[in-house]
Structure 1
Amino acid sequence: MLSTLIKRSLFRLTRSRHFSRLIKEEDANENSLHCSIADSSTPLPLIIPTSGVPIHLYTREIESKALKQLTVLAESGIVKGFVAAMADVHVGVGATIGTVFASLTHVSPYAVGADIGCGMIAAPIDGLTKAKLNEKWKKEIQRKIKTAIPTGHDARAKAHKKADRIISNLGACTNYLRNQICDITKKQLGTLGSGNHFLEILYDENDQVWIMLHSGSRRIGKETCDYYHGIAGQQMSQRRLPVINELKYLEIDSSEGQDYLIDMRWCLNYAEQNRRIMLDELCSIIKLVTGYEADLKRMVNIHHNYCQQERISFEGPESATEELVWVTRKGATSARKGQLGIIPGSMGTGSFIVQGLGNSLSFHSCSHGAGRLMSRTMAMKQISQQSFEQAMQGIVSDTSAALRDEAPQAYKVNENSIVLINYIVLSEFDNSDDESRNFSENSSSTETAH
């Protein structure tokens, strides 16, 4: 077990606080990037009423477009209880990234995310500390990683030796998905992907070296999402339901809804195994270069784009009732009491291994990353190559111009280190001078990572 060293202040939410107004109309200008809607003294979550269910907002500053997306979901009629928005919430396709909600009746492919099963995996390297990881080792590790693990839109020249066995054991899928499984599906197993997917070597507050990576279900996950997004649109059209901001959803009791859930689970299993193959290869590289081995008993492997059934307690007029509902997390980490999670920072900020506190006002969830401050297009326009390279000084990393949209400046200050309502920090990683990060190339302006 990880030691429960807590280096930051911790406060618990003792009662909810209703936020009695929405953003003023003049503050919600489409051209403004962010709107401040409360000062630092206002307890979280901010509870924002809508004409549907309320929004539980775990940040005091949000993009006006993101708030509108949250409001569309809250007023859609498919949500049970409330919509929770995490500290790193920002605009996405169909639903904001950083959204969690429960439903008895519906599931939305784009509210799960285009990259089904996108998530994190991490493990410590037993006995290897920051002081022992010299510059020569770091550069050799990075060189071998770049050779061994394809990044961006690349696949393996030859499928991983375990690919056939792994794919045959991923569980049931529909005829649609079975017909999509092809050579590229096998060759992308054990590859990083594009967007904000990364792998890195870093160290914690005890100078313990860890390996960490962020990836998902690659092309098969996105194709599955897009296919069922189209089916959802057809179903809504047949029922004469309006589609607002690409929020399309399926009735869970329908054959189409059941098919999506079956294929989504298959993609979740694919994503989990994809991360594990890369982690195993990282372990082999580090052992070859340094002689040290990973402690896989302390490995954490989690999704942050998925939907699953959970028992949730809802407050009623007289007492709380527990119901079995479908909980959708898009860019959000499950944080049930005692559950381990991973919250990565940007290229220039630290990451966290965390333990959930089981906060029911967030559907037992917390943020999944630093959260984008700029769109990829805006980052490319506003961040110079020089400022990007300066921000990455002291970190062994790729800093090619193609990665400028992932510069630290494109992300929020790591608000996760402040919003500790939903989790305890178990291990906090330093990102100051000894990290080796191999970032995914061919970053895309589409929502490939979430």
Structure 2
Amino acid sequence: MPVKMTLTKGKVPVKIYTEEIESSALEQLDNISQLPFIHHHVAAMPDVHTGIGATIGAVIPTKGAIIPAAVGVDIGCFVGETKIPLLDGTQLTLQELVERGGEHWVYAIDSQGQITGAKAIAKLTRNNAPLMKVILDNDEEIICTPDHQFMLRNGQWGEAKDLHPKTSLMPFYSRLEIEPNLHRYNHQVKSVEPLEQRQDVYCLTVPEYGNFALSAGVFVHNCGMNATRLSLTASELPDTLKRVRLAIEEAVPVGFDMHKSIQAQNSTIKNLNSGLEKIIEQHPTIAKMLKKIHKTWTQQLGSLGGGNHFIELCLDENQNVWVMLHSGSRGIGNTIGRYFIDLAKKDMEQHLIQLPDRNLAYFSEGAKHFDDYVEAVHWAQEYALSNRREMMRLILEALHRELPPFTVTKEAINCHHNYVAIEEHFGEQVFLTRKGAIRAGEGELGIIPGSMGAKSYIVQGKGNPESFSSCAHGAGRRMSRTEAKRRFNKNDMALQTQGVECRKDKGVIDEIPGAYKSIDAVMENQNDLVEIVHTLKQVVCVKG
């Protein structure tokens, strides 16, 4: 469906893809449209609803500034000259791939460790980024941002800044058939050194696998969230799924709970700790805002949290079993976000800048706090990624104990919904913030989950320019949590979640399906933005 409503009171229009929107959300969108650095227009997705400062479901293009309350983080990667091998036997630089646009077939590694072909989209990810050089034992040089992740030989991940001589990387033998002796190359780090210059950097989005090969001969990471398909079908599931739910809840702490001890690998903890220590050194107040900060972030790694976060077992239209996961950066990410929102407010007061809403306080590009914010929230995004990866590992281990033998047959989704990226829209390069929205570029895959008792969708984007190649990230709330608790009871929860193995007690009443918009209506309102690839129905849902 096309745009349903347009607001015209601000400096730019606001284009809204639904008529179901509360007055407070309309007011927030109007406030955003009055900021002086908004580019062209603001888009509001069909699941739009009131948030803190910036509306959830808003897509906000800005020039020269980022609004922390809109939850922004940029993912840096490689310089434009970095070469990528393509399936047709050619190789192009990342910058050339961006200039060509569209999808490109690259090499990736699947969940079984096998090299496969995958569709990818190239994009500019950050201007003027810090760089370092990684030299391999085949004398190939890779210039990237210090935080970009490389696949290690054991299948784990390590950031560029944490690599060291003789670190073994996952090899990609692009010329193996021609020169078999290359087995001794393309797998080990020779040296790592920081560079003084800064440069624009690029990356590939590889929705199905989350990694891709460089011509230099190694595999690297792209950031995202996975929905995983298993080799099981509905007929292989037990008649009652309560034991399955309880096994997941035992393996993955939910709500305010965390692990009793550190569960993640030492390398993951070490990599994250080094980045956090730098942030705390620059902004020591962050350490005072979270009780027992080091114990908390390490033992929350691999835990779900509460609110709208979930773990689900779903069936698609072919009765295949999927595991779907939605979570974030837990207490440490929340702390970092609150700290920088407050810092932005203080900056606005210091410079006597008047805003329509204090929560729309922003950092201007080039200011010290801007760079610190990008670095800190990038760390939080990496933490969220590690958190989901650790949870998926724990979930699959639990399922292996309760279900017949299975394998992972597809990891399908790269899907952030609170972030900012540098993209080109309507003739300008902008910081595009998606708050509670996902990228839906042409051919890109995404997840759009419904509520606990509804359907969810795997979708493919249409690249609609009016939505800035974006779409809804879920059903979207139709009422507050307080209102849901007042209006509904346990009997309502049991009725609305029939056929789903889940908690049905008063502790999750605020997540009752009736508190959310109809996912069918949301999907109808964005049929100009995405097409449905798979329709999933929950059979198990774990909530905090």
Query: Which TM-score applies when normalising by structure 2?
Result: 0.67
Instruction: State the AA in 1 paired with 2:42.
Output: V
- What's the CA shift string for 1:151-198, capped at 9, x where partnerless? 001111001141x42143358567334664612111111100111111
| 1:103 matched residue in structure 2 | 62
| 1:148 matched residue in structure 2 | 251
Task: Measure the CA separation in 2 of the matches of 1:344 and 1:412.
Answer: 12
Within 5 Å, which residues of 2 pair with 1:359-370? Answer: 359-370=464-475
| 2:3 matched residue in structure 1 | 44
Within 5 Å, which residues of 2 pair with 1:114-133? Answer: 120-126=225-231, 128-133=232-237
Task: Measure the CA separation in 2 of the matches of 1:357 and 1:417.
Answer: 13
| Secondary structure of 1:240 counterpart | coil
| 1:28 matched residue in structure 2 | none
Which of 526, 531, 542 is the equivalent residue of 1:424? Answer: 531
| 2:16 matched residue in structure 1 | 57
Within 5 Å, which residues of 2 pair with 1:326-365? Answer: 326-365=431-470
Task: Measure the CA separation in 1 of the matches of 2:536 and 2:410.
Answer: 19
Max Rg structure: 2
- What's the CA shift string for 1:306-349, capped at 9, x where partnerless? 11222x231xxxxxx2x322111110011111111101000111
Which of 50, 64, 89 is the equivalent residue of 1:91? Answer: 50
1:262 aligns with 2:375: yes
| Secondary structure of 1:80 counterpart | coil
Instruction: State the AA in 1 paired with 2:60.
Output: F
By relative contact order (CA 8 Å, sep 6+), the higher-ranking structure is: 1
Point out where structure 1 has 5 or more consecutive residues left out of the alignment: 1-10, 12-42, 315-320, 441-450
Task: Measure the CA separation in 1 of the matches of 2:14 and 2:267.
Answer: 44
Aligned-residue offset at 1:131: 1.8
Identity %: 37
Task: Measure the CA separation in 2 of the matches of 1:213 and 1:119.
Answer: 12
| Secondary structure of 2:37 counterpart | coil
| 1:218 matched residue in structure 2 | 330
Aligned-residue offset at 1:120: 4.8
**Could you tell me whether the CA contact under 8 Å between 1:119 and 1:215 is conserved in 2?**
no
* Closer/same/farther in 2, CA of residues 167 and 54 from structure 1, 3 Å limit: farther
* Closer/same/farther in 2, CA of residues 253 and 45 from structure 1, 3 Å limit: farther
| Secondary structure of 1:393 counterpart | coil
Aligned-residue offset at 1:113: 7.3
1:71 aligns with 2:30: yes
**Could you tell me whether the CA contact under 8 Å between 1:119 and 1:214 is conserved in 2?**
no
Task: Measure the CA separation in 2 of the matches of 1:438 and 1:362.
Answer: 32
| 1:371 matched residue in structure 2 | 476
| Secondary structure of 1:76 counterpart | coil
**Could you tell me whether the CA contact under 8 Å between 1:356 and 1:424 is conserved in 2?**
yes
- What's the CA shift string for 1:53-97, capped at 9, x where partnerless? 110111122111100000000101121111111100000111111
| 1:176 matched residue in structure 2 | 279
Instruction: State the AA in 2 paired with 1:153.
Output: F
Q: Which structure has greater strand proportion? A: 2
Task: Measure the CA separation in 1 of the matches of 2:279 and 2:18.
Answer: 40
After TM superposition, which residue ranges in structure 1, 4 or more long, deviate above 6 angstroms?
Answer: none
| Secondary structure of 1:424 counterpart | strand
| 2:178 matched residue in structure 1 | none
* Closer/same/farther in 2, CA of residues 294 and 357 from structure 1, 3 Å limit: farther
* Closer/same/farther in 2, CA of residues 387 and 119 from structure 1, 3 Å limit: farther
Which of 132, 155, 159 is the equivalent residue of 2:262? Answer: 159
Task: Measure the CA separation in 2 of the matches of 1:208 and 1:194.
Answer: 27
Query: Which TM-score applies when normalising by structure 1?
Result: 0.81
Point out where structure 2 has 5 or more consecutive residues left out of the alignment: 76-222, 288-292
Q: Name the stretch that deviates more: 209-218 or 296-305.
A: 296-305
1:280 aligns with 2:393: yes
Task: Measure the CA separation in 2 of the matches of 1:113 and 1:146.
Answer: 31
| Secondary structure of 1:165 counterpart | helix
Task: Measure the CA separation in 1 of the matches of 2:515 and 2:13.
Answer: 30
Instruction: State the AA in 2 paired with 1:159.
Output: I
| Secondary structure of 2:434 counterpart | strand
Instruction: State the AA in 1 paired with 2:50.
Output: V
Task: Measure the CA separation in 2 of the matches of 1:145 and 1:327.
Answer: 36
**Could you tell me whether the CA contact under 8 Å between 1:283 and 1:293 is conserved in 2?**
no
**Could you tell me whether the CA contact under 8 Å between 2:470 and 2:529 is conserved in 1?**
yes
Task: Measure the CA separation in 1 of the matches of 2:261 and 2:528.
Answer: 46
| Secondary structure of 1:396 counterpart | coil
